[in-house]
Amino acid sequence: RVLSRPFLRMVETARRFSRGETNLRLDERRNDEFGFLARFINRALDYVLTQQEELREALARVRRSEAALFREKERAEVTLHSIGDAVITTDGEGRIDYLNPVALRLTGWRAEEIGGRPIASLMRIVGEHSGEEIPHPVVQALCENRIVELPPHSVLLCADGHSFPIADSAAPIHDRRGRTIGAVMVFHDVTYARRLERELSYHASHDALTGLCNRRQFELVLEQALQDAVSGGREHALCYLDLDQFKVVNDTCGHGAGDELLRQLAARLSAKVRESDMLARLGGDEFGVLLYGCTPRRAYAIAEELRNVIREFRFSRREHRFQVGASIGVVAINSGSGSVAELLSAADVACYAAKERGRNRVHVYQTDDHELQERRGEMRLVSRINRALQEGRFRLFVQDTAGLSDDARPGYRELLVRLVDRDGGLLLPMSFIPAAERYGLMPSVDRWVVANACRLLVEESARDSEGIWAINLSGQSVCDEAFLEYVMHTVRESGVAPQRLCFEITETATITNLGHATRFMNVMHGMGCRFALDDFGSGLSSFCYLKQLPVDYLKIDGAFVRDMAEDPIDYAMVEAINRIGHVMGIRTIAEFVEDEAALNALRGLGVDYAQGYWIAEPHPMAADDAVAATRVPGRC
C-alpha cells in the first residue's frame, strides 16, 4: 500500500493530463525513487506540451499555405477561365493536362476526351499559304527549353477537321530546381484580324470605285515587270488610256453618272484583257494596262481592240445616251526603258499625242519621235513649274505704256511674270506658259501673281496712288469658280484699291469661255476692278460680244500694230478697232509698238495708249523701284 499510493497518483495524473488537464504535475519533493520518477515524468509532460504546441503551429502554417494555394489556384483558374486567349498546359512529355474554356470552345474538344493525350497528335499547325506543316511549338518549347512563337500566317488544323488562323506562343514550365516539368501554349483566333488585314490590303491596292488595281499597286507591279525585262531580257508593254468626251457625261448628268460609266467600262475592259495582264485605274478617267510578254506590234493590236471596246460602248442615263472614245499611248518595256516614272511619262506623252492627232486613236511611243520629245520636254518643264510654285521662284516685271491722247489717264502698267530657274536664269512667259496651260497649272500661277501683285501694290501706293496696274489671267483661271473666290478674298484682305486693278483676258479666252468670263468680269467689276480685252481684233465675232462685257480697255492685237505704218489693211483694222472702242466709251491700247513710225500713226488715229519695246522694256517690280521712264516725255 505504501508503494501503490504514489504510483496510483502518477497514473491518475497521466490520465487527467491525457484528458486535457495539461497544467497538472507530480510532486517532486520526495528524495526517493518516486521523487526521481516524478521529476522525469514532469519533464516528459513539458516536452509533450512543447511538441504539441509546435505541432499546432505547424498545422496552422500548413492550413494557411493550403488556403493560400487554394486562393492562388482559384485565382489562376478564374483568370484562365476569364481571359480571351486559349490556354493549354501539358506535362513534360507533351500530354495535355489542362484546357481553359476558350481552348475547349475553339478546338471543339471535350476535356474528358483529350486529357493525357499528346498535344501534337491532336493539333497540327500549317502555313496559311504553303500548307506545309509547322513544327509544334509545345514540342519545340519542351525540347529546346525556350519560348517559341509561331511564324505569321499560321493555321491550326483540329482533329475534327476544322481549321482557323491563329497567333501562338508556347513556353516551358519549370519547377523550383529549374527542371522542365511541362509546357503552356497560349493562342487566339485571328480570323477577324486576318480578314481585316486582307480588306485593308485590298483597299490599299485597289480602286474603290471600279475594283481595279489602283495607281500605287500598278506602279509596284510595273516596277517588277521592268526588273524582269532588265534581268531576264523579256519584253512587255504598257498602255495608257485616257477617255475622250468623259467630261460631257459629268457636265450633263453629274458625277454620279460619270462614276457609273467608269464602273461599267472597267468591267468591259476587264473582260477583254488577258488573265495574265493587269488593268488598273490610274485616276479620274485614266486607265493603265500592263501587257506581259508582249511586243510593240502585238501591244498596238491589243490597244486597238480596247479602243474599239470603248468606242462601241453606249452609256445611257435617263433620256441621255452617250458615246465615249479613248486616246491610248503604248510604250515598250525592255532593258532600256529607264525608271517607272520615265515609263509612265513616255506612255502619257504618247497618249497626249494620240489626243492631239484627233482623239480616239492609238499612238506608239518612239524614242526618235520629235513631237513626243517636245511633249516630254513640256512635262519636264511642268515639273520645274511645280517646283517654282512650291519654292516661290516667280518674279513680277512691269511694262509701262505711254499716254498718246490729251485725256489719257497716266500710269497704265502691265504686270508680267517671270520664272526664276534654280541656276538664277529667267524664263520668259512664252517659255513656260504654254506648258502650264496644257497641264492645267495656270490657275496656280495666276494665284501667285494676284497675291504678290496685291501685296506689292499696297507698298507701291505711297509713291503712285493713281496708276492702273494690269494683271494677265488665263482662260483656265477665269473658268475656275474657286479662283474667283480667291481673287475676291485676296483683294479685300490685301487692302489694295480695287479701282487700281485691271485684269487682262485675251479675246480668245473670253469668247471661248463666254459664260464663265462674263460672270468673273461682272463680279470683279462690281467690286471696282477694271478689265482689258487683250489681243483684240483676232476674231471676227469680237464686236458682237463686246457689248455684253464690262470692258474698260481694248488692247489692239500687235499683229496689226507692228506694220500699220506700211500696211494699209493693218492700218484700217487699227483704225476700226479704235473707233468702235471710243464709240462704246472704251479706251484703247496698241501693243507691240516697235518704232517711231507706228507711234506717230497711232497718235494720228487718236489711240489712247501705246505699249511696246519702243516705249519701255519690262523691268523688275519691287517696292523700292523708281517709276520707269519711257521714250515719250510727259506721256507715261
Q: What is the pLDDT of residues 129-138, one digit of tens each?
A: 888 889 899 9
Residue 352: name the closest of 383, 328, 369, 384 by CA: 328
Nearest-angstrom CA–CA distance, 596 and 615: 9
Residue-wise pLDDT tens digits, 377-432: 777 888 889 999 999 899 999 999 999 977 766 678 999 999 998 888 888 888 88
* Phi, psi torsion values for 555, nearest 5 degrees: -100, 110
Nearest-angstrom CA–CA distance, 75 and 90: 20
Nearest-angstrom CA–CA distance, 251 and 241: 21
Are 93 and 106 spatial neighbours (Cβ–Cβ below 8 Å)? no
Residue 315: name the closest of 326, 304, 323 by CA: 323
Nearest-angstrom CA–CA distance, 277 and 302: 11
Nearest-angstrom CA–CA distance, 1 and 98: 72
Q: What confidence score (pLDDT) does residue 3 get? A: 56
User: What's the half-sphere exposure (Cβ side, CA atoms, 13 Å) at 290?
Assistant: 27
Is the pTM value of this prediction over 0.75? no
Residues with Cβ < 8 Å from 183, sequence gap 6 or more? 89, 90, 94, 138, 141, 142, 170, 171, 172, 173
Q: Which amino acid is at 116?
A: G
What are the respective helix, strand and coil percentages of the chain, to the nearest 5? 50, 20, 30
Q: What confidence score (pLDDT) does residue 635 get? A: 34
Chain-centroid distance, C-alpha 107: 42
Which residue ranges of the chain lie beneath pLDDT 70? 1-4, 26-27, 66-84, 159, 368-372, 376, 408-410, 462, 464-465, 538-544, 622-636
Residue 469: name the closest of 422, 536, 410 by CA: 410
State in Å, rounded, how far the first CA of the chain is from the last one.
161
* Phi, psi torsion values for 59, nearest 5 degrees: -65, -40
Are 245 and 285 spatial neighbours (Cβ–Cβ below 8 Å)? no
Residue 104: name the closest of 160, 173, 29, 183 by CA: 160
Q: What confidence score (pLDDT) does residue 465 get? A: 67
Chain-centroid distance, C-alpha 523: 36
Q: What is the CA radius of gyration of the chain?
A: 47
Bridging pattern class, strands 468-473 and 402-403: unpaired
Joined grid coordinates for residue 236: 512587255
Nearest-angstrom CA–CA distance, 103 and 187: 8
